[in-house]
Structure 1
Amino acid sequence: MKTQYYKNFLEQKGVIFEEGLSEEETVLIEQKYDFKFPPDLREFLSLGLPVSDDFINWRSDSEKSIRGKLDWPYDSMCFDVENDEFWLPEWGKKPQSHEKACEIVKKALDKMPKLIPICSHRYIPDTPCEAGNPVFSVYQTDIIYYGRNLGDYLEIEFDRSRKWDLQTGYIKQIEFWSEFAEGYIL
């Protein structure tokens, strides 16, 4: 990834950066929140930590705020389980109790690649822990690709003149999440 290019690009778009995350800070974040930053996101955050425009400030956002962003995919899926009758057949018979249904959703999502928040409701999976994972927009069960990779996402999100074309180019498949994005679920 052209890390310096993307940092410069975002600065031109008005994104404010602080000093990048140190290796020690990165390791502590990964241990605290139980995920691994993919190498491209790790490199990007080490060059400069974006702290504006709804980016996650891994250094100074509260633990409650960060955990809320990490829980967003689960919480918003549970919202649709309760309010929009969403339920996947592989989860078995849907319980009458919303709480029990959400326990099943939680257990299922805990087995899937964890989504790491980048900015607002845009997420990158931690698995596989390699560069080039797609970025997803997650809003309840409306889960779509928002970039083929981190660099692609940053250009799409911050250059509104750039058109997103899902028909061209390779998108790495991510267990469970790609099925939503490609319309196999719903």
Structure 2
Amino acid sequence: MDLEGVLADLDAAGVWLDPALTAEEIADVERRFGFTFCADHRALLELAVPVGDHWPDWLSDDEEPLRQSLAWPVESVISDVLSGDFWPASWGDAPADRETAARENLAAVPRMVPVWGHRYLPAAPAPRGVPVFSVYGTDVIHYGSDLADYLAREFLGRSGPVPPATHGIPFWSDLVDGV
């Protein structure tokens, strides 16, 4: 994964890049929001911080937009559960209180961390080279085979099918596979 090359191309394409986050700033974000960036996400933020519309502002004093973005993957799945459109077989029979049961099941899946808009990477301990997920309820797809591939597709016009993921992420990859 060539993040440095992709970041140079993003800069040349007009994507605004702020200086990298320090180790202390990354640790503070992780403490405040209760997750650890996966290695690929951390590597990006240690090189540069893309800024602008739809990019998470990790250093903002207003934490609410970030909290909403962090909650979005679970809350959008809950919405599909409550509409009656979703209950995976792996959760067993649907109980009367579907919302509580769904929240309990979702508490056990890897947390998703926003990259841009509703594009997400799993939090650590995800391995290097995990795909970037587009999450909209239970409509989940891979939007890049890894972070560099995603950035090139979303912002630099790379086209063609997304290569198959080399790493599966519990629950989220199942949604991609239609399970």
Fold-level similarity (TM above 0.5): yes
8 Å Cα contact 2:132/2:143 also seen in 1: yes
TM-score by length of 1: 0.87
Unmatched 5+ stretches in structure 2:
none
1:75-116 C-alpha deviation (Å, 9 max, x unpaired): 1111111225211233333344xxx32222221111111111
Q: 2:133 aligns with which of 125, 133, 136?
A: 136
Q: Secondary structure at the match of 2:120?
A: strand
**Structural mapping, 1:1-186, within 5 Å:** 1-60=1-60, 62-96=62-96, 100-160=97-157, 162-166=158-162, 168=163, 170-183=165-178, 185=179
Deviation at 1:49, TM superposition (A): 1.1
Deviation at 1:144, TM superposition (A): 0.6
8 Å Cα contact 1:36/1:129 also seen in 2: no
In structure 2, do the counterparts of structure 1 residues 15 and 164 end up closer, same or farther at CA, with 3 Å as the change threshold? same
Deviation at 1:52, TM superposition (A): 1.2
In structure 2, do the counterparts of structure 1 residues 127 and 47 end up closer, same or farther at CA, with 3 Å as the change threshold? closer
8 Å Cα contact 2:134/2:141 also seen in 1: yes
8 Å Cα contact 1:81/1:87 also seen in 2: yes
CA distance in 1, matches of 2:57, 2:160: 26
Deviation at 1:45, TM superposition (A): 0.8
In structure 2, give the amino acid aligned to 1:137.
Answer: S
How many matched pairs? 179
1:141-161 C-alpha deviation (Å, 9 max, x unpaired): 10011111110110111123x
CA distance in 2, matches of 1:164, 1:67: 33
CA distance in 1, matches of 2:13, 2:105: 38
In structure 1, give the amino acid aligned to 2:35.
Answer: F
In structure 1, give the amino acid aligned to 2:99.
Answer: C
| Higher RCO structure, 1 or 2 (CA under 8 Å, sep 6+) | 2
TM-score by length of 2: 0.90
Deviation at 1:170, TM superposition (A): 4.7
Deviation larger for 101-110 or 62-71: 101-110
1:2-38 C-alpha deviation (Å, 9 max, x unpaired): 2321221212232112221110010111122222112
8 Å Cα contact 1:6/1:151 also seen in 2: yes
